[in-house]
C-alpha cells in the first residue's frame, strides 16, 4: 500500500512522503502542559491541550497518517536592500496552505482509484501537533530550533498530512539528535527565543512577534529589525540548509522586499489585491503597517518622520501606539513636543503610552 501511495505522490510532484500509525498523542500532554504553564506557547496554538492529543478528534476512524513535505527557499539569499521591509521566504508565491492542501487533495483523489477510505487533509490549521506527526512519519528530525529537518531539503519545508482510516503498516520514526554539538541557531536568534533542550519561547520569537496583535515590549521591537512578516534567521544560519540555499535558481525573491513608505499609505483594496495570496498577509493590513512603523524606526528613516506623524490620526490604537514610539526613535526632541501637545486629546490607553515613552526616553538621556 505504501509503495502505491508513494508512486502516486511522485507522479503528482510530491518530493517527500512518510507514514505513521501513531494517532494517539497523549504522550505529549506533560510537555504541552509544561510549555503552557511556563508561558512559552504562542497565541496561535490551540489552548485546549486535550484537543491536540488525538487525531481521532479530527477524523473519528483515523488509523494512519500520510505526511508530506513541500520544500521551498531554493537558492534564497536574504535581501540586503537598505531601507526596505522584509517578508519571510515562506511567504514567496502562493500561500503554502493552499498549495500543500491542493497536493494532499490530489493525492487522496488518485488514491481513491486504488482504495476506498475516509480522509481529512490538514495543513497547519488543526489543533494537532503537526511537527510531531511528521516526525513520526519520517519526514525529518527536530533541530535545536524545534523545526523539522529533512535530510535532503533541510528545514525549509512546508508540512501537511492526510488523516485516513486505512490500515497501513508503519515503522514509526524515533527521535534522533541531528544537531550534535552545533548551537549556531541558539547564538544567532535575534531575540534569544531558542532555549536549551530544543525549546522555543514563542512569546520572544521574532516570527511570532511580527504576527501578534498583542502589545510588543519596547526592548523586543529593536530586535525585530525590518521584518514585516516572519524571521528566517535560525534557518538561514543552519548548516543543514546550506545545500538548498546554495542551489542555483531562477526565482526572483525581490517581491519579498517592501517599500515602507508605500506600506504606510496602502489602502485596504491595494493590500488585498497585492498581498492577499501570500501566506504572510493572514493577519491583515494593520499588522503589516504596525511592523512598517517598527522597521522605519529601526532603520532610522528620518525622512519618513512626517509620514509617521500622519499615522497619529489613524483610528487604530495599535497604529497610533507604534507611531508615537517610532517618532521618538526617529527624533526624540522633535517628537516629545508632539507627544506633549497631543496628550490631552488622546484616550486613556494612548495617554499611558505617551507617558511611558516620555519617561523612558527622559531616563535614558535621549531627550
Ligand atoms: Fe541544529 Fe545547528 Fe541547525 Fe540549530 S543551526 S537546528 S543547532 S544544526
Q: Is 284 inside any structural domain?
A: no
Which residue among 140, 142, 143 has the greatest number of ligand 1 atoms within 8 angstroms of its CB, and so is best to mutate?
A: 143
Degrees to nearest 5, angle at CA 141 with 136 and 147: 110
For residue 184 and ligand 1, the question of a CB distance below 6 A is answered with: yes
Q: Is 300 inside any structural domain?
A: no
For residue 208 and ligand 1, the question of a CB distance below 6 A is answered with: no
Domain assignment of residue 57, given as a range = 1-258
| Atom 4, ligand 1: residue with shortest CA distance | 185
* Averaged pLDDT for residues 222-240: 97
- Ligand 1 centroid distance, CA of 356 (Å): 39
Catalytic residues: 124
Q: Is 355 inside any structural domain?
A: no
Q: Is 237 inside any structural domain?
A: yes
Task: Tell me: pLDDT of 42 over 90.
Answer: no
Whole-Å CA distances, 145 to 31, 92, 179, 184, 299: 16, 22, 10, 10, 27
Q: Is 306 inside any structural domain?
A: no
Could you give the number of structural domains in the chain? 1
Whole-Å CA distances, 240 to 90, 159, 175, 250: 17, 17, 17, 22
Contact 177/232 with Cβ under 8 angstroms? no
22-40, pLDDT tens digit by residue? 999 999 999 999 999 998 8
Q: How confident is the model at residue 206 (pLDDT cuts 50, 70, 90)?
A: very high
Q: Is 232 inside any structural domain?
A: yes
For residue 145 and ligand 1, the question of a CB distance below 6 A is answered with: yes
pLDDT value, residue 136 = 98
Length of the chain: 367
Q: Is 277 inside any structural domain?
A: no
Give the ipTM of the model, two decimals please: 0.94
pLDDT value, residue 287 = 97
For residue 182 and ligand 1, the question of a CB distance below 6 A is answered with: yes
Claim: this prediction has a pTM higher than 0.80: yes
Contact 91/231 with Cβ under 8 angstroms? no
| Atom 5, ligand 1: residue with shortest CA distance | 238
* Averaged pLDDT for residues 321-349: 97
Residue indicated by cell numbers 522586499 = 257
Share of the chain above pLDDT 70, in %: 100
pLDDT value, residue 7 = 97
Residue 217 burial (CB count, 10 A): 10
* Averaged pLDDT for residues 206-215: 96
Q: Is 318 inside any structural domain?
A: no
- Ligand 1 centroid distance, CA of 181 (Å): 9
Counts for the chain of helices (H) and strands (E), in that order:
16, 11
Which residue among 144, 149, 245 has the greatest number of ligand 1 atoms within 8 angstroms of its CB, and so is best to mutate?
A: 144
Whole-Å CA distances, 310 to 174, 227, 313, 323: 55, 22, 6, 9
Task: Tell me: pLDDT of 144 over 90.
Answer: yes
* Averaged pLDDT for residues 148-152: 97
98-123, pLDDT tens digit by residue? 999 999 999 999 999 999 999 999 99
Amino acid at each position: 500500500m505504501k509503495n502505491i501511495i508513494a508512486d502516486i505522490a511522485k507522479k503528482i510532484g510530491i518530493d517527500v512522503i512518510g507514514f505513521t500509525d501513531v494517532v494517539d498523542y497523549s504522550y505529549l500532554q506533560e510537555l504541552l502542559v509544561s510549555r503552557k504553564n511556563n508561558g512559552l506557547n504562542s497565541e496561535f496554538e490551540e489552548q485546549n491541550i486535550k484537543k491536540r492529543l488525538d487525531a481521532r478528534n479530527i477524523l473519528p476512524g483515523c488509523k494512519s497518517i500520510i505526511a508530506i513535505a513541500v520544500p521551498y527557499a531554493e537558492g534564497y539569499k536574504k535581501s540586503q536592500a537598505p531601507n526596505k521591509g522584509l517578508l519571510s521566504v515562506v511567504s514567496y508565491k502562493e500561500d503554502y496552505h493552499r498549495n500543500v492542501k491542493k497536493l494532499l487533495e490530489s493525492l487522496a483523489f488518485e488514491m481513491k482509484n486504488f482504495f476506498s477510505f475516509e480522509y481529512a487533509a490538514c495543513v497547519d490549521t488543526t489543533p494537532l501537533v503537526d511537527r510531531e506527526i511528521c516526525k513520526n512519519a519520517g519526514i525529518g528530525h527536530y533541530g535545536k530550533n524545534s523545526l523539522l529537518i529533512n535530510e535532503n531539503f533541510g528545514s525549509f519545508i512546508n508540512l501537511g498530512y492526510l488523516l485516513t482510516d486505512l490500515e497501513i503498516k508503519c515503522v514509526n520514526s524515533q527521535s534522533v539528535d541531528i544537531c550534535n554539538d552545533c548551537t549556531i541557531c541558539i547564538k544567532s536568534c535575534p531575540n534569544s527565543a531558542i532555549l536549551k533542550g530544543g525549546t522555543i519561547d514563542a512569546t520572544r520569537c521574532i516570527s511570532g512577534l511580527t504576527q501578534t496583535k498583542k502589545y510588543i515590549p519596547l526592548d523586543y521591537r529593536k530586535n525585530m529589525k525590518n521584518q514585516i512578516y516572519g524571521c528566517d534567521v535560525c534557518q538561514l544560519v543552519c548548516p543543514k540548509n546550506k545545500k538548498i540555499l546554495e542551489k542555483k535558481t531562477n526565482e526572483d525573491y525581490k517581491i519579498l522586499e517592501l517599500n515602507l513608505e508605500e506600506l504606510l499609505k496602502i489602502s485596504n483594496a491595494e493590500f488585498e489585491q497585492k498581498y492577499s495570496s501570500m501566506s504572510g498577509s493572514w493577519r491583515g493590513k494593520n499588522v503589516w503597517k504596525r511592523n512598517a512603523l517598527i522597521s522605519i524606526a529601526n532603520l532610522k528613516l528620518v525622512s519618513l518622520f512626517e509620514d509617521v506623524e500622519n499615522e497619529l490620526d489613524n483610528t487604530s490604537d495599535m497604529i497610533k501606539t507604534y507611531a508615537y514610539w517610532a517618532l521618538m526613535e526617529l527624533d526624540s526632541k522633535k517628537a516629545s513636543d508632539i507627544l506633549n501637545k497631543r496628550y490631552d486629546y488622546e484616550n486613556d490607553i494612548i495617554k499611558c503610552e505617551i507617558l511611558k515613552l516620555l519617561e523612558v526616553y527622559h531616563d535614558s538621556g535621549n531627550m
